[in-house]
Amino acid sequence: VAAAVLVQMHGERPRLVAYYSKMLPLIVKGMVSSLRAVAEAAIMVEKAKTFAPGHPMILHTSHAVNIILLNATHD
């Protein structure tokens, strides 16, 4: 199960807007953990985009996901 929390900055503090969860497709469940984390983040970003289309979004995730995404942009 992929899970995420959508917050909106209210002044200097984040305010809870929504909780998301979704069953992962079988293909994602079979991935190695680092790639599964990237897929989970992508799934949750897509869900959040339906709630706040066109608004800027900041994704907070594990260090492993950041490394994978940064390396992918440098190739």
How much is the pLDDT for 60?
81
How much is the pLDDT for 9?
86
Is there a contact between 24 and 6 (Cβ–Cβ < 8 Å)? no
User: What backbone torsions phi and psi does residue 43 show, to the nearest 5 degrees?
Assistant: -60, -45
What topology does CATH give the domain 2-74? Ubiquitin-like (UB roll) (3.10.20)
How much is the pLDDT for 74?
66
Over the chain (75 residues), what is each successive 10-residue block's mean pLDDT? Answer: 87 90 92 88 87 82 78 69
Distance between CA 40 and CA 60 in Å, rounded? 12
- State pTM to two decimals: 0.73
How much is the pLDDT for 65?
80
How much is the pLDDT for 12?
93
